[in-house]
Structure 1
Amino acid sequence: MDIITPLLYTLFTALVFLVLHSLHSRHSKRLPPGPAPWPIVGNLPHLSTLPHHSLTALAKKYGPLMHLRFGFVDVVVVTSASVAAQIIKVHDVNFASRPPNSGAKHMAYNYHDLVFAPYGPRWRMLRKICVLNLFSAKALANFRHVRQEEVAKLTRALVGAGQSTVRLGQLINVCTTNALARVLLGRRVFDDSDPKANEFKEMVIELMVLGAEFNIGDFIPALDWLDLQGITKKMKKLHDRFDSFINVIFEEHKSANRGEPHHVDLLTTLKNDVDGEGSKLSDIEIKALYLNLFTAGTDPTNSTVEWAIAELIRHPQILKQAQKELDIVVGQNRLVTELDLGQLTIIQAITKETFRLHPPSAIALPRIASESCEVDKYYIPKGSMLLFNLWAIARDPKLWTDPLEFKPTRFLPGGEKSNVDIRGNDFEVMPFGAGRRMCVGMSLGLRMTQLLIATLVQSFDWELANGLEPEKLNMDESYGLTLQKAEPLMVHPKPRLAPHVYQCV
C-alpha cells in the first residue's frame, strides 16, 4: 500500500496535467506539421535506438521543420539548411539557452559547466576563460608543440605494436587526452598501455550515451522520481566516478606544483584571478569545466579520426592520393606538422567529408525557446525544445550529390562544394554547430583532427584485423552525444616511413 498509493497519485496527477496542458496548448497559430502524439508520452515511441535516423524518416513525411511532443514538452526538429540558417540568423538569441535535462543536473554538476550553463553572464565568463586560455590564436600557437609531440608519441606506439592487432580508438584517446592534460594540468595523465586510459575512455563513452538519452522524467516531471529507465541512477553513479577522477588529478596537480610558484597551467590560472578583473571560479565550476574539457575536448576528435581512417581503408585510392600529396608537400624524412596543414588540400577535403558523413554530434545539443516566435511561417511556442538534425542536413539529397558516398573530391578546388566552410557559416554542414552555442573548442578540435588524420595517413598503410576485406568493414553507428562506430576499428598499421622519422621527438 505504501508504494501503490503514491504511484496512483503520480499517475493521476500526470493525467490531470496532460489534460490541462492539452487545453492550454491549443494554439491559435499554426504549429509546424508532425505526427500525432500518443497519450502522455507523446512522440517518444517514434524514436528508435538511432534517433537521428527516426527523425530523418519522419521529416521525409512531415517536412524540414517538424513539431513533436515529448511528454508535455513541445519539440521542434530542423532538417533543412535553409530553416537552420533562418533560426541562427534571426532567432539565435531566443534559442541561446539549454532546456532543463537530467544529464546537466546529475552529471554536469547541476548546470555549473559551460556546455549546459544558461545563456547569460556566467556562461559568457566561462566561455571567455576558455577562449583566452585555450582556443585563441595565441594559445593555439603556444601549445602547438604539445599537440605535435603527443601525435608523434602515438606514431611510436603504433610502430611498437608490430604485428599485433591495434584498437585504434584507444590509442588516439590516450593521445588527445594527454595533449589536453598537458595544457590543463601541465602534465600527461596516461601512459600508452595504462589500463586507466581504457577505463577513462569507457567512462567518456558512457557519459556521451547517457547524456543523449531521452529520459522520460525530463518530459513528464511527475514521473521523474520513478526513474523508469534507470537513467538517473546510472548518471549519479557515473558522476561519482568522474568526480573521483577529477579530484585525484587535482590533488596530484597540487602536490606536483607545491614549491613551484612560477609553474603556470590552466588549473593554476583558474585557482587565481582568471581574467584580471577579480573574477574567480568556485571549485564546483572548475570541476564542471574540466569535465567538459576532458569529454567534449577529446571524444569528438577521437571518433572523427576513427571514422576517417575507416573510410580511407574502404577507399584505398583516396588514401593513396592523400599519401602522395603528403610526400610532395612534407616529404618522407619528417612528420607532418600543423604548419603544413594549410597546403594539404586533400587532407582538408577528407576531414570535411568525414565531418559531413559522420558528424561528431548527429543531433546538436538541444536549445530552448525563451519566447514564442515565428519560423518559416510556423508558430514556435515559448519553452519549445529545438533540435538540429545535423546528420540529416549533411545528407540532404537536395544539397549533396551522392550524399551517402564518401567523396572528398566534392570539397577540392573545382568541386561542387569547394567553397563550403565547416566553421558554422555554411549551414549545409555544421559539425561544430552554429551561432552563439556552437562548440567553443572548434578551432582546437579542427586542428587536432586534421593533424591526426594527416599523420596517420602519412605514417602508415592500414590493414584490417583477421584478414577482413575493406568492403566488409562494419560502418554501423552507435548513438550518443558523440556518434561512435558501433564496432571499434581493429587494424594492423604498417609503417611507410624510415624508422628514424618516428623517433624525432
Structure 2
Amino acid sequence: MDLLDILILVFTALLLCLWWRYSSTNVAKNLPPGPRGWPLVGNLAQVILQRRAFIFVVRDLRKKYGPIFTMQMGQRKLVIVTSSELIHEALVKRGPQFATRPPDSPIRLIFSVGKCAINSAMYGPLWRTLRRNFANELVNPMRIRQCGWIRRWAMENHMERLRREALEKGFVEVMSNCRLTICSILICLCFGAKISEDQIKNIESVLKEVMLMTAPNIPDFFPILTPIFTRQLRAAKDLRKQQMDCLVPLIQARKAFLEDSSGGGGDIEMASPVGAAYVDSLLALKPPGREGDCLGEEELVTLCSEVISAGTDTSATTLEWALLHLVQEQEIQEKLYKEIVGRAGRNGPITEEDVENMAYLGAVVKETFRRHPPSHFLLSHAVTEETELGGYTIPADANVEFYTAWVTEDPALWKGPDEFRPDRFLDGDGVDADVTGAKGVRMLPFGAGRRICPGMTLGTLHVHLMLARMVQAFKWFPVPDDPPDPTETFAFTVVMKNPLKAVIVPRFSCR
C-alpha cells in the first residue's frame, strides 16, 4: 500500500466518522422500527454475517417489526414495506409522492449515463419523455401488430432449435433457449435487425453481466468509499466498453439504413421498415435536461439495453417456472393443451388474438406470476419529499423498498398460497386479482402506479405466445433420474438454482 492509498483511507475514515456523528444526531423523528445497527456500518455487517439471501433476512424482520420497518445499511437508510395495504397506499393512492428513485452508486451511473433510462430516471420531465416515447413506439397496439412478423420469425427458429437440441442431447434446457429467443425478438424490435445466433448470444451474455454488475453491492451502501473501490470501477468501465462494442455497430447500421433505405445497413440485415425500430424514435428524440439536441450513442446503448435486458430476463424466467409446473403436473399440461388445440388446432399458427382468448393459458401465466414473481422486490423507490406512511415518517433521502413477494404468499389473501392452482384465476380466489395493483395489491409482477413496468403488455404477450406454441408442439416430461429442482436463487430475477431440463416428445407421436 503506497502513501496515496494510506491518505485515502485516513481521509475516508474521517469522513465516515463525521457522517456517522451527523446521522446519529439528526435522525428523522418517528422512523419505522427496525434492528439496532453497529456504528458506521449500521445493519450491513449483520446482514453479511448471516450468509443468506437478503429476502430471508427481510422475512424474519417482518415477523418481528411488522409490515413496515427501517434498516440502516451503511450510508443508505432503507424503509422496507411489506403489506398489501401500505404498498397500495404508497404506489397507487399516493403514487406521485413515491414515484422517484434514490441516488445511484457510481457503478450504476456508468451504465445509466447519469440516470438516462426509464427505470432509473428521477421522476420528472426526462422520465416522462422517455416513458411516453417507449409507450408510443414499442407497446402501442398498432406497433405490436406491425411487428408480429418478428415474433413469428423468432418462434420458428425457437422450435427448430428445440427439436435439434432434443435430438442431440435427449433433453432441452429451457432457460437458455427461451432467453435466446426473447433476446432475438427484442434486438430486432430495438434495431430492426436480424443478426446471427452467435451475435445474439454475445449481446445476451454481455447484458447479463451488466445486470449482475449493477446489482446491490458494498459500493452502493458506502458511496463515500468510492475512491477505495477502484478495482470495481475499472471492471465496470471495461464491461461498459464491451456493451458499447456490442451495440454501437447495430446503431450505426440502422443510421446508415435510415439514410439510404435501399441499401444501407452494411453487413447487418435490416428487416424492419423505416420508423418501425425503437432506435429510430430515439434518434429523433430531444429529451429535456440532457446536453445537446439529441441523444448520443452512450444514451442510445443504455435505453436499448434496458429494453433487451428487462424483457429477456423476466419473460424467460416466467416461462421456465411455468414449464416446471407443467412438467411436474401433467394434468395441468393436458388441460392447457386441449384449450390450445381447441382454439388453434394441432398444427395451426397461434396468433396474438388466439392467446387473448385462451382463458386457461392466461390462468397458468397469472398463477406463475403469483407463485414465482420475477423479483421479490420492486426497483428501489424514493419519496419526492419527506412524508408519512403507516403512521411513520419516510425521509426524503431513504430508499423505499417494496417487498412484494410476501403479498403473494399471504394466507390472508390467498387460499393455499404454496400450491400451484391456475383454476383459482377462473373460478376461485384469484378471479378479481389485478396484476396492475390498481384495484388492490394481491400480486405485483410488474410493479404498480406511476413506475409500473411500461413493457408489461409486450412481455406478457411473449410469454403467452411462446408457452402456447411449445405446449402445442411438444409434450413435456421430466428427465429420467434427474427430477427438476425448484430451489430458488437470485440472478437479477429469481430463477431456478439448477436450470430446468425437460424431455420433449412431438405431440403427433404421443397419439
C-alpha distance after superposition, 1:214-243 (max 9, x if no partner): x33333232222129x64444333222111
- Report the equivalent of 1:329: 343
TM-score (norm 1): 0.90
2:321 pairs with 1:307: yes
- Report the equivalent of 1:140: 144
Between the aligned partners of 2:478 and 2:323, the Cα distance in structure 1 is 11
Higher relative contact order structure (alpha carbons within 8 Å, sequence separation ≥ 6): 1
Matches within 5 A, 1:82-121: 82-102=85-105, 103-121=107-125
Contact 1:323 1:457 in 2 (8 A): yes
1:131/1:304 CA distance change after superposition, 3 Å: same
1:190/1:353 CA distance change after superposition, 3 Å: farther
Contact 1:167 1:488 in 2 (8 A): yes
Contact 1:100 1:218 in 2 (8 A): no
Matches within 5 A, 1:10-21: 10-21=12-23
1:459/1:49 CA distance change after superposition, 3 Å: farther
Q: For structure 1, which runs of at least 5 residues remain unmatched after alignment?
A: 500-505
Tell me how far 1:279 sits from its aligned partner. 7.7
1:377/1:273 CA distance change after superposition, 3 Å: closer
1:391 pairs, out of 397, 405, 409, with: 405
- Report the equivalent of 1:439: 453
Between the aligned partners of 1:179 and 1:403, the Cα distance in structure 2 is 34
Secondary structure of residue in 1 paired with 2:72:
strand
Which region of structure 1 is more displaced relative to structure 2, 6-15 or 345-354? 6-15
Contact 2:385 2:396 in 1 (8 A): yes
2:207 pairs with 1:204: yes
Which region of structure 1 is more displaced relative to structure 2, 432-441 or 484-493? 484-493
- Report the equivalent of 1:60: 63
Tell me how far 1:285 sits from its aligned partner. 2.5
Between the aligned partners of 1:162 and 1:376, the Cα distance in structure 2 is 54
- Report the equivalent of 2:236: 235
Secondary structure of residue in 2 paired with 1:153:
helix
Between the aligned partners of 1:409 and 1:478, the Cα distance in structure 2 is 27
Identity of aligned residues (%): 28
Q: For structure 2, which runs of at least 5 residues remain unmatched after alignment?
A: 263-272
1:231/1:79 CA distance change after superposition, 3 Å: farther
2:185 pairs, out of 159, 179, 182, with: 179
C-alpha distance after superposition, 1:15-65 (max 9, x if no partner): 22101111011x33x221211122211122326552222212211211111
Tell me how far 1:492 sits from its aligned partner. 2.7
Between the aligned partners of 1:498 and 1:136, the Cα distance in structure 2 is 40
Contact 2:175 2:317 in 1 (8 A): yes
Question: How many correspondences in the alignment?
Answer: 486
Tell me how far 1:11 sits from its aligned partner. 1.3
1:391/1:236 CA distance change after superposition, 3 Å: farther
Which region of structure 1 is more displaced relative to structure 2, 430-439 or 56-65? 56-65
C-alpha distance after superposition, 1:434-488 (max 9, x if no partner): 01111111110111111111111222112334x2354xx1112221432222222
Contact 1:178 1:187 in 2 (8 A): no
Residue 160 of structure 2 aligns to which amino acid in structure 1? R
TM-score (norm 2): 0.89
Contact 2:8 2:227 in 1 (8 A): no
Contact 1:313 1:319 in 2 (8 A): yes
Q: CA RMSD in A?
A: 2.4
C-alpha distance after superposition, 1:44-93 (max 9, x if no partner): 23265522222122112111111111113221111111110111234321
C-alpha distance after superposition, 1:359-399 (max 9, x if no partner): 12221110112211111111112211111112222112221
Residue 484 of structure 1 aligns to which amino acid in structure 2? V
Contact 2:133 2:281 in 1 (8 A): no
- Report the equivalent of 1:41: 41
Which region of structure 1 is more displaced relative to structure 2, 216-225 or 111-120? 216-225
2:139 pairs with 1:127: no
- Report the equivalent of 1:76: 79
Between the aligned partners of 1:54 and 1:232, the Cα distance in structure 2 is 28
